[in-house]
Amino acid sequence: MLKIKKEHIEEIKKQGEKGYPYEICGFMLGIIDYEDNIREVKEVYQVENQNKERANDRFEIAPKDYLKVEDYAEKNGIQIIGIYHTHPDHPDRPSQTDLMFAQPDMSYIIMSVNNGKAENWRSWELDLEKNEFKEEKVEVI
Ligand SMILES: [Zn+2]
């Protein structure tokens, strides 16, 4: 399950609308309760979408940004718990490409931005047995 503050959702919405018609992306940083399997977001951290040719329907995070954010998280006693990105004029469902790059034990928020307005969003996690995404339960706090 993912726990996220309303203000973080608002922040992602704002970034998504500002970046429209291109996909924006970033990391969710926070803490993990392994016993109850709860990931709790403490910060959202936007990084540049490196895919310039198909930024309207693809996103890519540079290795240097991964390293930078990992380093930042470590220094602040938190960790990378997920990745968020937007789908301009597309539903909040993962694409085949999203599945290809997904890692286990991470939350993937996908936010749909239609005509420049951030609307629906959901969080997804990898179902390792089926090798597909399943919708993750979210608690907005
Ligand atoms: Zn996507």
Domains observed in the chain: 2-140 (3.40.140.10)
Neighbours of ion ligand 1 (CB under 5 A): 95, 98
- The answer to whether 79 and 30 are in contact (CB under 8 A) is yes
d(CA 35, CA 74): 21
For residue 76, the CA-to-ligand 1 centroid distance in Å is 28
What does the pLDDT read at residue 71?
98
For residue 71, the CA-to-ligand 1 centroid distance in Å is 25
What does the pLDDT read at residue 138?
98
**CA distances in angstroms from 101 to 64, 68, 87, 91, 118, listed in the order given:** 17, 19, 16, 19, 24
Chain mean pLDDT for the chain: 96
Q: Report the DSSP pairing between strands 79-88 and 2-4.
A: unpaired
Q: Which amino acid is at 80?
A: I
For residue 117, the CA-to-ligand 1 centroid distance in Å is 17
For residue 93, the CA-to-ligand 1 centroid distance in Å is 7
Among the listed residues 46, 137, 49, the one whose alpha carbon sits nearest the alpha carbon of residue 88: 49
For residue 7, the CA-to-ligand 1 centroid distance in Å is 22
Q: What is the average per-residue pLDDT within 50-70?
A: 95
Q: What is the average per-residue pLDDT within 22-44?
A: 97
What does the pLDDT read at residue 28?
98
For residue 124, the CA-to-ligand 1 centroid distance in Å is 11
71-118 per-position pLDDT tens digit: 999 999 999 999 999 999 999 999 999 999 999 999 999 999 999 999
